[in-house]
Structure formats: C-alpha cells, structure tokens
C-alpha cells in the first residue's frame, strides 16, 4: 500500500500541492483526476522522488520510501520520452538494467512485453521510426519492464486508440491482480469511472474527494431521484415537495427529500407498474464538476 | 542509492554513451579524418624534409670527386666549364664546382647565378671546432609545430567531446527521457556516467593520435624527435585525462541549463572560449618562458603548456606533478559545482535556467 501523508510543495510563492494525503491500495486501480494545473503531475513526481517535497511523507507498506524502493517503481511521466535513436528492445533492456535488473532477465522481460503490447515487428526499430501510438506502447513497456512493485502512470491512455486502451488496460489489471498498487491520472473521466476501483480528485493542489468509486458516487448522491414507469410520468411535476430536473415521457429525474420521494413512489406503484426507482447516483463527471466548484 | 548501485548505474550510463557514439557514422568519419590529418601531416613533412636535402651541384673534372663525397649534395657531372655554367643558368643545379688551373690557394671555384651559395661554400670549407656552453636550442619552426600540435589536439578533442556530452545532456532533456532516468538513478550517477563515458572516448582518441604520431615519426626516420617528445606526450595524456573531466563537467552543467538543441550555442559559448583562449595563448607565447610557466599552472591551459615546457626541458621534475595536483583539485571543485547545477536544472524545461537559480536549487 502506498500512502501519502501531508505532502506540500510550493514553487516560489505558488503553492502547487497543499497537504495532500491519500492511499493507493495494493491490488487496486486508483484513478487520479483533476483539471490542468491541479497538482497531479507534481504529486506524482514527488511520489517518484524526482521532485522533493517541502513537507510530508510517502510510505510504502508502512515504511518510508527510499531510493532503493523507488527504483522498483514503474513510472510513466506526463512528458513522454525515450531515446529517439535507440532501438525498442535495446532501450527497454537499458532502462530495466538502470533499475537493477540483470541483463538476461531484462532481455527476456523486454521481449515478453514487446509481444504483449504488439510491438514484435518493431522490436529492432529506433523509437523515432515508430508511429505515435506505437511510441506510446513502447513508453508503457518502459514503465513495466522491470516488473515494478508499484505503478504510477501519468495519463497512460492519452494518444492510444480504443484497441490499444484495451490492451494496456489488460496489462494494468494483471499488475493490480498481483497486488501491485496502481495509480494513474487521466482527463478521460469516463475511462476512469469504468476502470478504477478507487478515485482521488485533486483541485487547486488539495484533495477534494477520495475513496472507492461506489462510495464516492453514493456519498455524492444527494437528494436526486430517478423514476421510470410504464405509462406517462408527467404527474410527478405536480407532486408536492418535488422539483423535476429532467422529464421524458415515462422517465423523470427529480430532487426531493426522502419522505416526498417515498410519496412519489407510492403513487407510482398505485397507478402504473414501476420499472425503476432509486437514488440517482451521479457520474464521475458530475461529481467532479460538483467537488471542483 | 548505495555505493554498489551507484557504480553500476555509472557503468551502464557510460556504456551507453560509448556504444551510441561508436555507432554514429558522423563520429566515426570525423575521427578517421582527424587520424588521417595527424598521420598525413607528419608523413608529408617528413618526406619533404628528406627529399629536399639532396641539392644538385654540377662539377667538372677533378672537382667531381670532391662533390661526390659531400653529404647532402647530388653530383651532376659536366664535361666543360661552359656546360656547368649553362646548367647553373638553366636552374638544373644550384651551383657548380670547377677546378682552377695554376696554383691558387684553393684549387676550386664555386660558380652560382646571382647569390653566393652559402651551403656548398661551408661544406667545402674547413671550419674551426665549436664548443657550446649550453644545450643547443631547438629550431623555432619545430617548436611552433610541437606547440601547435599539442594545442590543436587538445582543442579538437575538448570541443568534439565537450560538444558530444552537451548534446547528450540536452537530448535527454529535450526528449524528456530524463524524467524516467531520474526515477531510476540519481542525477549524480547520470552525470558521472556521461563524464566517464565521454572521457574514455576522448582519452582513447588522444592515445590513438599519440600512437599515430609516433608511428609517423618512426616511418619518416625522425626517431630522435619521437624520443624527445616521449615524456612531453606522456604528461600531455595524463594532464588531458584530468583536464577533460573538468571540461566535461562544465559542458554538461552548462548544457543542462537549456531544454532545446537550438539553445545550446548560447550557453556553451563561455566554455568554448575558456577552451580556446589558453590554446591561442600557448601557440603565440610558447617561446616566452614567463608566460608559458604561468600557463602551465592555470588549469585550462596546463594540459598544453606543461608538456611544452617539458619538451623544452624548462620544467623541474616536480612541476608537472604540482600542475597535475592543481588541475585535479580544480576538477573536483568544478565537478561538485557542475553536479549541483545539473541536478537543479534537469527537470526545469522550457526557458533557459538562470545560473544563479541552478546553483541555489
């Protein structure tokens, strides 16, 4: 388990990250979302030790992280980069060896990932000769080649076509299934919502919300309800204590306190057959909009 | 990062620098051209010196035996005095030696076109014994050639490999691969690996040039000069090895201030001047012993000035050691400062980093 506690960092007089604390559980995919300049990249750089923090600690499984521990991290920076003139396989081996993997193991591991990420035909091409999508795959391979203990990926899906997203997702899920904590940031909230077990929302350098995806949606459900009936639901508009948000024939979304909502349900069951009734759980996009404001 | 993994990282980074460089066609070609220039210039000057030594001289009758015995002159026999004079007029020979009739003090006459031929006259004369109180000084031309040679090799290697190391630093910043590298190894290990890798290449090139120069001198029969140059070349290599580490740290840390290849020119200019100024000073002032002595202790010019003084036999045995010590201490300080600048600038992309900010962190 990766644990951040009170991480603070300022650049000059600008506070980039302010008292950031959250955990990334072992075996869980954790999504890290926030707008541009929210502090995602700075936080990730601090986790990796590429950047020092002004205050706070990063612990792995209860012990403070040191350089040796960080060498076992897999990292994909926001700013992509590999040596353009180095061949794919050669480069992966080099990066694995920099992290202390023996030469023979590094070579085998690099080949395995190249096959897995469908780069086999590009194995001995210089990186600059690869298409952007393939460069992205090579970049992901570079983060995974040393069989890391923790994965920290900044926007791993940007620039990937939908097929590649599935391939990469498959690889990441395998890591998570082995108990590796996986933290990744993304602008694509629908992707995060679909993939992540846990979500951390950052804004203005502060953690705005954190927790499991389901908890977060439950917690932010508020007093919005959803009702679908077989007939026409237009009558809901005139019910007491109800504010209709959305109405579409048999489907209605409305705000109401729990008692008024129950009254609506009772009337619905007595007149039509109810297809669906429940609290409207917000999408991640809605939660995000809510907490960031 | 512990000591073992630091060493291992430095070794890996240095290995990459060397193999990538050796795989570059432009590097191989420019190195071969440099080698060809060094060997070629020594061979050409050597052969010119040898062929130029035989001056053609015409001789008539009994004088032929005398001229034939003179070393460095080629005998052209003529039948009559008129024939010999014609050979001189035509420029076929530099002079003619003819026997005189009757009992003159010297039974020969030297005929030349419009200038007394000092060389042949001296060769035919009896000279008194000469005793020099001090070692003869070497000819000016040879000295300037040696000074120029040391200077040029130093300058070429420093600029070539300094430029290479700068390029490799900026490449990593520009392509952003540096962030991945820094998540695996420390900035110091990365810098050390680059300095070690490029120093090995520069050092290898210098040794190869020294070997080629020695080969050229032996091939052209100038073994004596080769033996005289030996100690100077040895010290040149030793001082260069330490001096290059100093320069490499300066090139690397200066380059780390910028993020794009296009911007390297501006930050490297001061370092390039630092390399060029002592080179020109040594080439111009090698015959001024005060200037040369001073420069043999200034870290940037020591690798050129001290070997020059050793070649001139002006230096006491301990002087190159002292100069090496001064250079080594300077290198340690500059490398420490350079590492600081490098560490603090690597992740600052975009605009050029101010030197004061890079030092402060």
Whether the pLDDT of residue B335 is over 60: the answer is yes
Size of interface A-B (CB pairs under 8 A): 63
The yes-or-no verdict on residue B4 having pLDDT over 80 is no
Query: What digits encode the pLDDT tens for the residues A59-87?
Result: 988 888 888 888 889 998 887 889 988 99
- What's B55-124's CATH class? alpha beta
- With an 8 Å Cβ cutoff, are B12 and A98 in contact? yes
**Chain A residue at shortest CA distance from B178:** A81
Of B252, B277, B294, nearest to B13 (Cα)?
Answer: B252
Question: What is the domain partition of chain B in residue ranges?
Answer: 3-47+137-360, 55-124
In sequence order, what are the residues at sequence separation of 6 or more whose Cβ sits closer than 8 angstroms to the Cβ of residue B99? B60, B61, B62, B63, B107, B108, B109
In whole angstroms, give the CA distance from residue B157 to residue B202.
6
Q: Does B261 touch chain A (CB under 8 A)?
A: no
Confidence check: pLDDT of B46 > 80: no
Say whether pLDDT at A204 is over 60: yes
C-alpha A140/C-alpha A80 separation (Å) is: 10
pLDDT on residue A114: 93
Residue B184 has pLDDT above 70, yes or no: yes
Q: A84: which chain B residues are within 8 Å (Cβ-Cβ)? A: 175
Average pLDDT of span A198-217: 85
For chain A, say whether B181 makes contact (Cβ under 8 Å).
yes
- Chain A contact residues (CB < 8 Å to B): 45, 48-51, 67-68, 70-71, 73, 75, 77, 79-86, 94-95, 97-100, 142-143
B5–A71: do the CB atoms touch at under 8 Å? yes
Is ipTM beyond 0.95? no
CATH architecture classification, A222-288: 2-Layer Sandwich (3.30)
Binned at pLDDT 50, 70 and 90, residue B51 comes out as low
Give the pLDDT of residue A181.
92
Which residues does chain A have within 8 Å of residue B185's beta carbon, measured at their own beta carbons?
71, 98
Domain extents for chain A?
Answer: 2-218, 222-288
- Per-residue pLDDT band for B16 (boundaries 50, 70, 90) equals very high
CATH architecture of the domain covering A2-218: 3-Layer(aba) Sandwich (3.40)
Q: What is the mean pLDDT of chain A?
A: 87
Q: How confident is the model at residue B12 (pLDDT cuts 50, 70, 90)?
A: very high
Q: For residue A108, what pLDDT band results from cuts at 50, 70 and 90? A: very high
Does position B193 have pLDDT exceeding 90, yes or no?
yes
* Average of per-residue pLDDT across B67-84: 79
Question: Cβ separation of A77 and B12 shorter than 8 Å?
Answer: no
Question: Which of B10, B20, B173, B184 should one mutate to test binding to chain A, selecting the residue with the greatest count of A CBs within 10 A?
Answer: B184
| Residues B171-180 pLDDT 10s | 888 888 888 8
Extract the runs of DSSP E, i.e. beta strands, from chain A. Answer: 2-11, 14-24, 29-33, 55-60, 63-64, 73-76, 150-154, 182-185, 198-203, 206-212, 224-229, 242-248, 251-256, 274-279
> What is the tens place of the pLDDT at every residue in A219-264?
777 788 888 888 888 888 888 888 888 888 888 888 888 888 888 8
Interface contact flag, A98 B20, Cβ < 8 Å = no
Contacts of residue A98 in chain B, CB cutoff 8 Å?
9, 12-13, 181, 184-185
């Amino acid at each position: 388990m990766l644990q951040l506690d009170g991480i603070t960092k300022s650049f000059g007089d600008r506070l980039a990250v302010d008292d950031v604390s959250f955990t990334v559980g072992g075996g869980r995919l954790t999504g890290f979302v926030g707008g541009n300049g929210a502090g995602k990249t700075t936080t990730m750089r601090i986790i990796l030790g590429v950047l020092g923090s002004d205050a706070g600690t990063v612990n792995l499984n209860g012990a403070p992280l040191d350089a040796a521990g960080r060498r076992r991290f897999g990292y994909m920076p926001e700013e992509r980069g590999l040596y353009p003139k180095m061949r794919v396989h050669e480069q992966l081996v080099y990066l694995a060896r920099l992290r202390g993997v023996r030469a023979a193991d590094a070579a085998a591991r690099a080949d395995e990932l190249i096959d897995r990420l469908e780069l086999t035909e590009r194995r001995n091409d210089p990186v600059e000769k690869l298409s952007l999508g393939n460069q992205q795959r090579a970049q992901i391979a570079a983060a995974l080649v040393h069989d890391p203990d923790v994965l920290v990926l900044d926007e791993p899906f940007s620039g990937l076509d939908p097929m590649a997203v599935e391939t990469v997702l498959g690889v990441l899920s395998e890591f998570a299934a082995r108990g590796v904590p996986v933290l990744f940031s993304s602008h694509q909230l629908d992707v995060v919502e679909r993939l992540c077990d846990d979500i951390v929302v950052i804004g203005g350098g502060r953690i705005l919300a954190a927790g499991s995806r389901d908890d977060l949606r439950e917690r932010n459900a508020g007093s919005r309800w959803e009702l679908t009936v077989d007939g026409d639901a237009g009558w809901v508009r005139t019910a007491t204590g109800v504010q209709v948000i959305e109405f579409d024939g048999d489907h209605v979304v409305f705000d109401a306190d729990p008692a008024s909502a129950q009254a609506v349900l009772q009337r619905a069951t007595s007149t039509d057959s109810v297809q669906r009734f429940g609290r409207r759980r917000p999408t991640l996009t809605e939660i995000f909009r809510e907490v960031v404001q | 990062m512990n000591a073992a993994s630091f060493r291992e990282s430095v070794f890996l980074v240095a290995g990459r620098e060397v193999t990538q460089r050796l795989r570059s066609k432009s590097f191989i070609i420019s190195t071969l051209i440099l080698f060809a220039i060094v060997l070629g210039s020594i061979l050409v000057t050597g052969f010119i010196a040898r062929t130029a030594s035989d001056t053609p001289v015409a001789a008539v009758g009994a004088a032929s035996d005398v001229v034939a015995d003179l070393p460095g002159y080629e005998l052209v026999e003529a039948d009559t005095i008129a024939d010999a004079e014609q050979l001189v007029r035509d420029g076929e020979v530099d002079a003619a030696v003819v026997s005189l009739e009757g009992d003159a003090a010297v039974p020969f006459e030297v005929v030349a076109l419009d200038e007394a031929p000092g060389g042949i006259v001296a060769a035919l004369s009896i000279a008194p014994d000469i005793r020099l109180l001090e070692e003869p000084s070497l000819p000016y031309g040879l000295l300037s050639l040696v000074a120029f040679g040391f200077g040029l090799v130093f300058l070429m290697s420093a600029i070539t490999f300094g430029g290479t190391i700068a390029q490799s630093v900026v490449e990593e910043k520009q392509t952003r691969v540096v962030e991945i590298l820094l998540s695996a190894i420390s900035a110091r290990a990365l810098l050390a690996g680059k300095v070690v890798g490029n120093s090995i290449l520069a050092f290898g090139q210098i040794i190869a040039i020294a070997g080629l120069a020695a080969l050229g001198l032996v091939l052209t029969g100038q073994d004596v000069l080769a033996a005289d140059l030996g100690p100077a070349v040895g010290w040149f290599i030793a001082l260069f090895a330490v001096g290059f580490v100093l320069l490499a740290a300066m090139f690397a840390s200066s380059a780390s201030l910028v993020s794009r290849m296009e911007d390297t020119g501006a930050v490297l200019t001061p370092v390039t001047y630092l390399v060029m100024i002592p080179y020109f000073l040594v080439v111009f002032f090698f015959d001024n012993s005060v200037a040369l002595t001073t420069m043999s202790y200034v870290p940037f010019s020591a690798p050129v000035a001290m070997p020059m003084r050793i070649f001139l036999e002006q230096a006491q045995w301990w002087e190159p050691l002292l100069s090496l010590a001064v250079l080594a201490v300077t290198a340690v300080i500059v490398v420490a400062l350079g590492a600081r600048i490098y560490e603090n600038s690597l992740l600052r992309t975009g605009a050029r980093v101010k030197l004061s900010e890079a030092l402060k962190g």
